């Protein structure tokens, strides 16, 4: 645990050590991306027409996605990048990908403060459902750790994983209701079955439920839309953790020989 904390904090500090703005970048990057997307998709493509608190839900989705994408992308190559440490020290190798996730969570902590400042600035009411964000963030962290363990173990033996995951993240981003609210799909005649299948993705379910918890409005929680299919994203999160841990354990036995 001490090594995990040390690695995460040192990576967090080194990331912004030589930049002029320092830790301001933790908040600046998602806010700049939000600004561009808000102008394009709200004012040009009119995705947010008739959707209450669209700027808030867009920023929320960007921040949730940023945590998942940043952590998993960093974890892919962490074992190769830390090869010297692997050869010189004897410790649980799962610490390395998990430390990447912990660093991304630290960045997200700054972002979530900025998000709530934005929520209060827009006049969104305080809701009891905000408490639901805690288990949703825990679910996101479990999903991220599971995927990170899986990718980092596979990358040591199959270096194409890095390129494949970059493409997969792009596809998953547009398959997740971050830019477009699910109500927009319903207004355009997309069936309940298609929306339910979309929400089988754990990231889509987390974004949708987080949006419902944060601002409510016309947003429905994923379980109301999915009905009998509601357990699927939770089972996929559990499967990602179990598969990631099993894959990582399998490949870590001869890890030092390949990095």
Higher pLDDT, 32 or 98: 98
Predicted confidence (pLDDT) per residue in 124-169, tens digit: 788 898 999 999 999 999 999 999 999 988 888 888 898 999 999 9
Is the pLDDT at 241 greater than 60? The verdict is yes
Looking at residue 201, its pLDDT comes to: 95
- Taking the CA atoms of 21, 27, 28 and 29 in sequence, report the sign of the dihedral they define: positive
Looking at residue 193, its pLDDT comes to: 86
Is the pLDDT at 256 greater than 70? The verdict is no
Q: Rounded to two decimals, what is the model's pTM?
A: 0.86
What region does 248 belong to: left with phi over 0, alpha with psi -120 to 50, or beta?
Answer: alpha
For the chain, what are the domain ranges? 2-258
Is the pLDDT at 204 greater than 90? The verdict is yes
Predicted confidence (pLDDT) per residue in 17-64, tens digit: 555 555 565 666 677 766 766 676 666 556 666 677 788 888 888 889
Is the pLDDT at 220 greater than 80? The verdict is yes
What lies within 8 Å, CB to CB, of 216 at 6+ separation is 127, 129
Higher pLDDT, 181 or 24: 181
Looking at residue 13, its pLDDT comes to: 62
């Amino acid at each position: 645990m001490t090594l995990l904390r040390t690695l995460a904090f040192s990576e967090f500090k080194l990331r912004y050590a030589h930049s002029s703005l320092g830790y301001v970048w933790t908040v600046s990057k998602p806010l700049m991306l939000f600004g561009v997307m808000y102008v394009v998709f709200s004012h040009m493509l009119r995705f947010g027409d008739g959707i209450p608190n669209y700027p808030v839900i867009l920023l929320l989705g960007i921040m949730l996605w940023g945590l998942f994408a940043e952590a998993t992308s960093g974890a892919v190559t962490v074992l190769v990048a830390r090869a010297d440490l692997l050869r010189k020290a004897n410790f649980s190798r799962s610490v390395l990908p998990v430390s990447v996730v912990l660093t991304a969570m630290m960045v997200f902590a700054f972002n979530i403060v900025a998000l709530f400042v934005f929520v209060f600035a827009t006049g969104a009411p305080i809701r009891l459902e905000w408490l639901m964000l805690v288990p949703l963030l825990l679910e996101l962290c479990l999903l991220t750790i599971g995927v990170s363990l899986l990718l980092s173990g596979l990358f040591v033996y199959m270096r194409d994983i890095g390129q494949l995951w970059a493409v997969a993240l792009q596809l998953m981003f547009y398959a997740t209701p971050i830019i477009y609210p699910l109500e927009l799909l319903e207004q355009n005649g997309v069936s309940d079955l298609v929306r339910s299948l979309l929400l089988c993705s754990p990231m889509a379910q987390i974004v949708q439920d987080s949006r419902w918890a944060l601002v409510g409005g016309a947003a429905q929680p994923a379980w109301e839309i999915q009905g009998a299919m509601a357990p699927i994203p939770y089972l996929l999160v559990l499967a990602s953790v179990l598969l990631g841990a099993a894959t990582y354990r399998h490949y870590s036995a001869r890890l030092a020989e390949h990095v």
